């Protein structure tokens, strides 16, 4: 497009597309090794930037469509600009404040004094894992003067919040914006993991069924899905450690057996030599 709104982001052109990007980044964070704090820090920074920049995509999309009134209705006050939308988000949701601080510091290294919130900081802390007798490991936290929250939980809450906002502003289509590939031919350049529906490829659905399908997982189901992936990751690591422990035990046992056999053969050899 000539105004540059969507010809520099490939096929990511709408807030719904950007929400899918945040969902994908959150999945990479959850799949990362719990002990690889550097990789997890990279993904948290990416997720925070995506979550915070969503405000610009939402405001600009509504502005281009002449629908800024719906934003005023949602906020229950007049939103004067993109910057004012950011102010509203930080006032209404503490996790948006965290996203703003992480995203701004990640992009610019430092935050201007008037925008800096010293109470919000990132840190590394210990987590108690109640699995196979229990153990502790380090993980990444975001801390403010009210609470300390694990990074994956923060990103999950940001994702759920933006999903709620986009539905409220009618920025997510009634039909699901993404589906599995299936066997249908798709345009060149369409994302391979979760592709957009083709025009006319969906049989008509009544409004209630379409809305339920568009929302997909409930907030509770998504939260449980996130936690189950974390638990599966912990169980996988614990099982691997247990397997390595058993392998070491068997290896030492075999080495002891060989040593005892060698000693027995040496004794037998000495007895035979003495008798002859």
Q: Which residue has the higher pLDDT, 233 or 160?
A: 160
Contact between 177 and 144 under an 8 Å Cβ cutoff? The reply is: no
Residue 238, burial from CB neighbour count under 10 angstroms (0-12, 13-18, 19+): middle
Is pLDDT at 188 greater than 80 in this prediction? no
Cα–Cα separations (whole angstroms), residue 11 to 59, 135, 191, 247: 19, 44, 8, 49
Domain contains 140: yes
Query: 207 or 141, which is more confident?
Result: 141
* Residue 29 within a domain: yes
Say if 63 falls within a structural domain.
yes
> Do the domain assignments include residue 74?
yes
Range of 22's domain? 15-172
Q: What tens digit of pLDDT does each residue of 40-83 get? A: 999 999 999 999 999 999 999 999 999 999 999 999 999 999 99
Residue 161 resides in a domain:
yes
Report if residue 141 sits inside a domain.
Answer: yes
CA 113 to chain centre: 30
pLDDT at 27 over 80: yes
| 245 or 153: which leads in pLDDT | 153
Confirm whether 238 is domain-assigned: no
* Strands of the 148-150 sheet, one edge to the other: 121-129, 135-143, 148-150
pLDDT tens string 74-89: 999 999 999 999 999 9
pLDDT band for 219, please (50, 70, 90 cuts). very low
State the average pLDDT for the chain. Answer: 76
pLDDT (mean) for 235-255: 66
Torsion sign over Cα 224, 230, 231, 236: positive
Section 231-246 average pLDDT: 61
Output the pLDDT for position 170. Answer: 92
In this prediction, residue 94 carries a pLDDT of 93
Domain presence at residue 146 = yes
What is the total count of domains within the chain?
1
Instruction: Assign 31 a pLDDT band (cuts: 50, 70, 90).
Output: confident
How far from 156 is each of 137, 221, 227, 251, CA to CA, in Å?
Answer: 21, 12, 10, 44
The pLDDT value given to residue 158: 96
The predicted structure's pLDDT at residue 238: 62
Buried b or exposed e, range 244-253, using 16+ CB within 10 angstroms: eeeeeeeeee
Quote the pLDDT of residue 269: 85
86-108 pLDDT, tens digit per residue, is 999 999 999 999 999 999 888 76
* pLDDT classification of 201: cutoffs 50, 70, 90: very low
Largest CA-CA distance found in the chain, in angstroms, rounded: 109
Dump pLDDT digits (tens) for 126-168: 776 666 666 677 888 888 888 889 999 999 999 999 999 999 9
**pLDDT confidence of 32, banded at 50, 70, 90?**
confident
For residues 71 and 58, give the distance between their C-alpha atoms in angstroms, rounded to a whole number. Answer: 9
Closest to 166 (Cα-Cα) out of 11, 4, 21? 21
Three-state SS sequence of the chain: CCCCCCCCCCCCCCHHHHHHHHHHHHHHHHHCCCCCHHHHHHHHHHHHHHHHHHHHHHHHHHHHCCCHHHHHHHHCCCCCCHHHHHHHHHHHCHHHHHHHHHHHHHHHCCCCCCCCCCCCEEEEEEEEECCCCCEEEEEEEEECCCCEEEHHHHHHHHHHHHHHHHHHCCCCCCCCCCECCCCCCCCCCCCCCCECCCCCCCCCCCHHHHHHHHHCCCHHHHHHHHHHHHHHHHHHHHHHHHHHHHHHHHHHHHHHHHHHHHHHHHHHHHHHHHHC
């Amino acid at each position: 497009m000539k105004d540059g709104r969507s010809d520099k982001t490939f096929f990511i052109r709408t807030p719904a597309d950007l929400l899918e990007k945040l969902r994908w980044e959150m999945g990479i964070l959850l799949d990362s090794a719990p002990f690889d704090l550097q990789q997890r820090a990279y993904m948290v920074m990416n997720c925070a930037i995506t979550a915070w920049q969503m405000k610009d995509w939402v405001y600009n999309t509504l502005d281009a469509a002449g629908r800024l009134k719906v934003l005023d209705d949602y906020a229950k006050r007049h939103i004067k600009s993109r910057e004012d939308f950011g102010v509203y988000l930080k006032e209404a949701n503490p996790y948006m404040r965290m996203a703003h601080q992480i995203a701004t510091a990640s992009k610019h290294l430092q935050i201007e004094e008037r925008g800096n919130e010293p109470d919000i900081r990132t840190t590394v802390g210990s987590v108690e894992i109640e699995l196979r007798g229990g153990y502790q490991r380090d993980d990444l936290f975001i801390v403010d003067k009210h609470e300390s929250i694990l990074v994956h939980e923060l990103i999950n809450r940001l994702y759920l919040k933006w999903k709620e906002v986009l539905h409220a502003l009618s920025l997510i289509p009634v039909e699901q914006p993404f589906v599995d590939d299936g066997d249908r031919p798709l345009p060149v350049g369409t994302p391979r993991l979760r592709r957009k529906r083709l025009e006319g490829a969906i049989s008509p659905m009544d409004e209630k069924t379409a809305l339920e399908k568009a929302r997909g997982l409930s907030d509770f189901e998504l939260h449980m899905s996130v936690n189950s992936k974390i638990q599966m990751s912990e169980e996988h690591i614990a099982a691997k450690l247990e397997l390595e422990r058993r392998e070491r035990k068997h290896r030492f046992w075999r080495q002891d057996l060989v040593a005892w056999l060698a000693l027995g053969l040496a004794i037998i050899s000495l007895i035979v030599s003495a008798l002859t």
